[in-house]
Structure 1
Amino acid sequence: MPISVLVIDDSPLVSKMVTKALEGTDYNVVDSALNGQIGLEKYAQLRPDVVTLDVTMPIMDGLETARGLFRADPNVKIILLSAMGDETLLNEAREIGVRHFLTKPFKPDALKAHLADLFG
């Protein structure tokens, strides 16, 4: 059974990139959301195995969304995507519970490596 992925990112291009990167693998993008608020709703409905989450989004940023995801499911698996390698931001994400980070733009193999680390 494929591992389900929810993409939360305000860029439809990133959603397409993640979907394309995972074609032909055991990972399946089940849906995407353009902001954290919608992402939390879709997470509650779909309960995907993993979430790729952008940091900078309108309405609700990635860190606030991550907090909401961890409140909904303390075992949620998140790969945080950021165009910025800001150490303060990464430390705050670690404090929330995020353990996987990917800098945009990313190579498909880097995304697959994070997923392999999460799911062995």
Structure 2
Amino acid sequence: MSELTFLVVDDAVFMRTVLKKMLVEASYTVVGEAGNGLEAIELAKKLQPDMMTLDITMPEMDGLQAIEAILQVSPNTKIIMCSAMGQQSRVVEAIKRGAKDFIVKPFEKARVLQAIENVKNL
């Protein structure tokens, strides 16, 4: 299981910490973290992670704006969107742009791990 590498992207340090803890406890490797879409693009280019959790709402560049650029610089990265309740239309838009699944805040470990399983072999 530990062969998968992750980039965790969220403007809230607390949310990144929660997700990182879940991923590490499940024996995944977190190779980096970013606080907005611009940082996510740079790190994706440099680190080429297998998967990325990407928050929809962030300052400077949100997740929706970043998806296509991330997939251009790191085409094999599978993106799992993170959204707050009530953002269904934005989640649908994210999937259209190339995201593979989504998880809703507050994160439930079982759902996070299920999303990873869902997209791992796509």
- TM-score of the pair, normalised by structure 2: 0.89
Preserved CA contact (<8 Å) 2:81 2:91 = no
1:5, 1:50 within 8 Å by CA — same for their partners in 2? yes
Give identity over the alignment, percent: 35
Matched, 1:109 2:106: no
Structure 1 residue 93: Cα displacement = 1.1
Task: Read off the aligned partner of 2:108 and give its amino acid letter.
Answer: K
2:18 match = 17
Aligned length: 120
Report the counterpart of residue 58 of structure 1 in structure 2. Answer: 59
Q: Which moved more, 1:84-93 or 1:15-24?
A: 84-93
SS in 2 for 1:18: helix
Task: Could you tell me which runs of 5 or more consecutive residues in structure 2 were left unpaired when the two chains were aligned.
Answer: none
Is the contact made by 2:83 and 2:91 (CA closer than 8 Å) also made in structure 1? no
In 2, Cα distance between equivalents of 1:30 and 1:74: 17
Aligned to 2:101: 100
Cα distance in 1 for residues equivalent to 2:20 and 2:32: 10
Q: Runs (4+) of structure 1 moved beyond 6 Å?
A: none
CA deviations on 1:11-30 (whole Å, 9 max, x unpaired) are 11111111111233231111
C-alpha distance 2-89 of structure 1, shift in aligned 2 (>3 A):
same
**Which of 101-110 and 64-73 deviates more?**
64-73
Q: So what's the TM-score if we normalise by structure 1?
A: 0.90
